[in-house]
A and B are shown apart, each in its own frame.
Chain A
Amino acid sequence: MTTEPIIEMRNIEKHFGPVIALNGVSFDIRPGECHCLLGDNGAGKSTFIKTMAGVHKPTGGEILFGGQAMHFDSPRDAMEAGIATVYQDLAMIPLMSVTRNFWMGREPVRKVGPFKFLDFKTANDVTMSEMRKMGINLRSPQQAVGTLSGGERQTVAIARAVHFGAKVLILDEPTSALGVRQTANVLSTIDRVRKTGIGIVFITHNVRHAMAVGDRFTVLNRGKTLGTAARGEITPEALQDLMAGGQEMAALEGSLGGTV
């Protein structure tokens, strides 16, 4: 690969008191690729992406952002650097309108004398057009997010991240609670976003969803990276076995082509 990684995480360790959640995880993400992070429950996926998103500070290891060492003190820092995270359940507030959700935390303001008011016209127009780009036609930008389907909510969150100039988009199990049709929609949204040059970190434990859009696959198990494979270098069955806990490690090391 010729392109430089946007973020490179080297040997990340994270300890919570006596619990070692991450024990040396390495991972990188390049522009325009979808890098799938797979792992069973408890493998450390969530801890890892929260470290990347600035929620947790790593106990050890380094984070390189555009080749420079970075320290994120808060999710806000990471966000400003261009790392956007879409959390599975916590992406949206159902009682609030799509527009209010879309702009939450970064509302556009219009000055009237010394006072600043929300610029609803801009906010609504941008929300509608960004959602249309993602293939969703809203009835009204004032519609409460609660009336949207799970897939549409994920899409609003993704559209929001893209609009605010994300370079890296971390999706935390975006498809795990969705039906077949909605999953397909979210996967095609991922594909669309990837083509704009944004690097996508796609967390899932569903190998089929990963295979559908992934360019590279990294498997986490018990706080460690088991390995990274590019598309075409690994079969879904092999990935599945890796996630399951390495009972067939010997066979897998071969199939991963020595990248372990």
Chain B
Amino acid sequence: MSKTDATVDERIKETSKLRKALIRPELGAIVGTIAVFAFFIIFAGNSGMFNAQGVLNWSTVSAQFMIIAVGACMLMIAGEFDLSVGSMIGFAGMSIAIISVTLGWPIWVAILLTFALCIAIGALNGIIVVRTGLPSFIVTLAFLFILRGFTIFFPQLIERRTIIGGISEAAEGDWLAPLFGGKVGGGFFIWLGDLGVIEVFSRGTRAGQPVVDGIPMLIIWALGLVAIAHIILTRTQFGNWIFAAGGDAQAARYVGVPVNRVKIQMFMFTAFCACVFATCQVIEFGSAGADRGLLKEFEAIIAVVIGGALLTGGYGSVIGAALGALIFGVVQQGLFFAGVESSLFRVFLGVILLFAVILNTYIRRIITGER
């Protein structure tokens, strides 16, 4: 800033680099990630948490959180919530199980139909929210119960039980199922095992094979969704509309942004993410349970908030949300590796949520110049 410039307001102080870094939405999540890794390297460094199997363990758990956090993040930036994510996960899993196992249709048909159904329900959520003007909190709370109720009701009605198995058999030889339940990079891990970089089994039927036989598709989905969502949000016209819809819907409408359409599409995207999660889960477990996905909606929202998104919309980061999910996965599994009682994970969640919200409020004040 040149001092000779007459139009420069002398009362505005030059912003420091630190302050500029502070207003990045991801900051809290980056600091949190470093802190969490430092903590577990110190206290659980020798427990096997950071060998190949350990890394795969917490990466998989983090990836699960990431998939639903990406959807929740985009939706929250667009100014809405979806509390029905957890129920949607249970519902989607059950839908795949009933169509493929009970009806005996090919699993790819089950997967595609379930995706269509879930995205349609997401659209319905969105349409109700934008048409009635009701808070999405209430509308999606209703769907939390509606979907969970059906998820328990249908398998009981049809199969007289709440867990449907046999999906692994149904998925055998299917072309679409490996996209959700498969693993990639097997050859690479065998090579690493041969090099001695990662351990190999020394006994049993798999002797000589590496302990990690590939990266689960779940992780690929998570990274792919994070990358695509991040690019859409920060680099495209549609991304600008998402920010605008959540920042101030009326202002956005006045300049011609199709706010309602954007919001409905974000509800659909959230439902899509929940469905990806559910599909990966049922194919991995080989069964669908009526209680799957319980409380996931809140975990997704917490990850997003840790990632720096404002609950009021219009501000946030997919990368931040992904780091929030990573913090989750690392802490949840790390407490296990460190031999700490796992119920303390919930205490941690509550505490970190509180800190994240306080930090975000402070950041928002800096950006908008409120006092």
Find out whether the CB atom of B314 lies under 8 angstroms from the CB atom of A96: yes
Q: Which of B1, B248, B314 meets A90, CB within 8 Å? A: B248
Instruction: Point out the residues of chain A lying under 8 angstroms from B369, CB to CB.
Output: 146-147
Please tell me if B16 contacts chain A, counting CB pairs below 8 Å. no
B335-371 vs A, CB cutoff 8 Å, 1 = contact: the mask equals: 0000000000000000000000000000010011110
A-B contact count (CB 8 A): 90
Q: Which of B239, B248, B314, B364 has the most CB of A within 10 A?
A: B248
Please tell me if B99 contacts chain A, counting CB pairs below 8 Å. no
Find out whether the CB atom of A90 lies under 8 angstroms from the CB atom of B367: no
Please tell me if A106 contacts chain B, counting CB pairs below 8 Å. yes
Q: Which of B15, B236, B247, B315 meets A117, CB within 8 Å? A: B236
Within A46-105, which residues are at the interface with B (CB < 8 Å)?
75-76, 79, 85, 87, 90-96, 100, 103-105
B1-44 vs A, CB cutoff 8 Å, 1 = contact: the mask equals: 10001011000100100000001000000000000000000000
A21 CA / B369 CA spacing, docked (Å): 38
A60 CA / B314 CA spacing, docked (Å): 39
A79 CA / B257 CA spacing, docked (Å): 12
Interface size on B, residues (CB 8 A): 34
Instruction: Point out the residues of chain B lying under 8 angstroms from A215, CB to CB.
Output: none
A120-147 vs B, CB cutoff 8 Å, 1 = contact: the mask equals: 0000000000000001110100001011
Find out whether the CB atom of A93 lies under 8 angstroms from the CB atom of B237: no
Find out whether the CB atom of B256 lies under 8 angstroms from the CB atom of A75: yes
Within B65-104, which residues are at the interface with A (CB < 8 Å)?
none
Q: Which of B1, B8, B237 has the most CB of A within 10 A?
A: B237
Q: Which of A76, A79, A116, A160 meets B236, CB within 8 Å? A: A116
Find out whether the CB atom of B7 lies under 8 angstroms from the CB atom of A137: yes
Find out whether the CB atom of A104 lies under 8 angstroms from the CB atom of B252: yes
Find out whether the CB atom of A117 lies under 8 angstroms from the CB atom of B314: no
| Closest partner residue, chain B, to A90 (CB atom) | B251
Q: A93-B247, A95-B247, A96-B314 are in contact. Are A104 and B255 (CB under 8 A)?
A: yes
Instruction: Point out the residues of chain B lying under 8 angstroms from A93, CB to CB.
Output: 243-244, 247-248, 251-252, 314
Instruction: Point out the residues of chain A lying under 8 angstroms from B370, CB to CB.
Output: 146
Instruction: Point out the residues of chain A lying under 8 angstroms from B255, CB to CB.
Output: 79, 104-106, 160
Rounded to whole Å, the gap between the CB of B239 and the closest CB of chain A is: 7
Find out whether the CB atom of B239 lies under 8 angstroms from the CB atom of A96: no
Please tell me if B162 contacts chain A, counting CB pairs below 8 Å. no
Find out whether the CB atom of A118 lies under 8 angstroms from the CB atom of B237: yes
Find out whether the CB atom of B254 lies under 8 angstroms from the CB atom of A95: no
Instruction: Point out the residues of chain B lying under 8 angstroms from A117, CB to CB.
Output: 231, 235-236
Please tell me if B253 contacts chain A, counting CB pairs below 8 Å. yes
Find out whether the CB atom of B235 lies under 8 angstroms from the CB atom of A105: no
Instruction: Point out the residues of chain B lying under 8 angstroms from A144, CB to CB.
Output: 23, 367-368
Please tell me if A251 contacts chain B, counting CB pairs below 8 Å. no
Rounded to whole Å, the gap between the CB of A92 and the closest CB of chain B is: 7
Rounded to whole Å, the gap between the CB of B8 and the closest CB of chain A is: 6
| Closest partner residue, chain A, to B310 (CB atom) | A95
Instruction: Point out the residues of chain A lying under 8 angstroms from B231, CB to CB.
Output: 117
Find out whether the CB atom of A105 lies under 8 angstroms from the CB atom of B256: yes
A109 CA / B236 CA spacing, docked (Å): 8
A95 CA / B251 CA spacing, docked (Å): 12
Within A126-173, which residues are at the interface with B (CB < 8 Å)?
135-137, 139, 144, 146-147, 160
B251-265 vs A, CB cutoff 8 Å, 1 = contact: the mask equals: 111111100000000
Find out whether the CB atom of A75 lies under 8 angstroms from the CB atom of B367: no
Q: Which of A92, A94, A136, A160 has the most CB of B within 10 A?
A: A94
Instruction: Point out the residues of chain A lying under 8 angstroms from B5, CB to CB.
Output: 137
Q: A95-B364, A96-B314 are in contact. Are A116 and B237 (CB under 8 A)?
A: yes
Find out whether the CB atom of A105 lies under 8 angstroms from the CB atom of B368: no
Please tell me if B250 contacts chain A, counting CB pairs below 8 Å. yes
Q: A87-B254, A105-B256 are in contact. Are A118 and B244 (CB under 8 A)?
A: no
A137 CA / B5 CA spacing, docked (Å): 9
Find out whether the CB atom of A136 lies under 8 angstroms from the CB atom of B368: no
Q: Which of B15, B23, B240, B367 meets A100, CB within 8 Å? A: B240
Instruction: Point out the residues of chain A lying under 8 angstroms from B252, CB to CB.
Output: 93, 104-105
Instruction: Point out the residues of chain B lying under 8 angstroms from A137, CB to CB.
Output: 5, 7-8
Instruction: Point out the residues of chain B lying under 8 angstroms from A90, CB to CB.
Output: 248, 250-251, 254
B214-242 vs A, CB cutoff 8 Å, 1 = contact: the mask equals: 00000000000000000100011101110
Find out whether the CB atom of B1 lies under 8 angstroms from the CB atom of A100: no
* New contact pairs (9) apart from A90-B248, A90-B250, CB-CB < 8 Å: A76-B256, A79-B255, A100-B244, A104-B240, A104-B244, A118-B235, A118-B237, A118-B240, A144-B368
Q: Please list 16 pairs of residues, one from A and one from B, whose beta carbons are closer than 8 Å in the complex, sorted by A's number.
A: A75-B256, A93-B243, A93-B248, A94-B368, A95-B243, A95-B247, A104-B252, A105-B241, A106-B256, A107-B237, A116-B236, A117-B231, A118-B239, A137-B7, A146-B370, A147-B367
A residues neighboring B (CB under 8 Å): 75-76, 79, 85, 87, 90-96, 100, 103-107, 109, 116-118, 135-137, 139, 144, 146-147, 160
